[in-house]
Amino acid sequence: QVQLVESGGGLVQPGGSLRLSCAASGSIFSIDTMGWYRQVPGKQRELVAASISGGNTNYVDSVKGRFTISRDNDKNAVYLQMNSLKPEDTAVYYCHARVVHYSKYSFDYWGQGTQVTVSS
């Protein structure tokens, strides 16, 4: 009953920028955490950036200083501004949200994934 719809991926040259967007809708009491993960075929999924309710953020070391996560709680949306992109950033990026339902139980939800390709 909760869906996450993400967009913004594409093909970009090294050094370029992309902005990913994700919005959650459905039966939501609150959202504790929203974030972005990425995965390359044959490699384990990794957390790229997370925004926790209360204002805390964290990033994987490889994107610090280049990526910025932001959140709009009124829209249940999260964004990832990606600058100075490198070929090693190429992956499928997945939006994630830990949603608290009105029952006060929490569940994890995932977006459909968007491909980011950094190549010349």
pLDDT at 54: 77
pLDDT at 1: 85
pLDDT at 41: 94
Per residue in 44-91, pLDDT (tens digit) is 999 999 999 878 999 999 999 999 999 999 999 999 999 999 999 999
Q: What is the average pLDDT value for the chain, to the nearest integer?
A: 96
pLDDT at 53: 81
pLDDT at 26: 95
CB-based contacts of 92: which residues, under 8 Å, 6+ apart?
Answer: 38, 39, 40, 113, 114, 115, 116
Q: What's the pLDDT band for 43 if we cut at 50, 70, 90?
A: very high
CB atoms within 10 A of CB 5: 13
Q: How far apart are CA 28 and CA 99, in angstroms?
A: 7
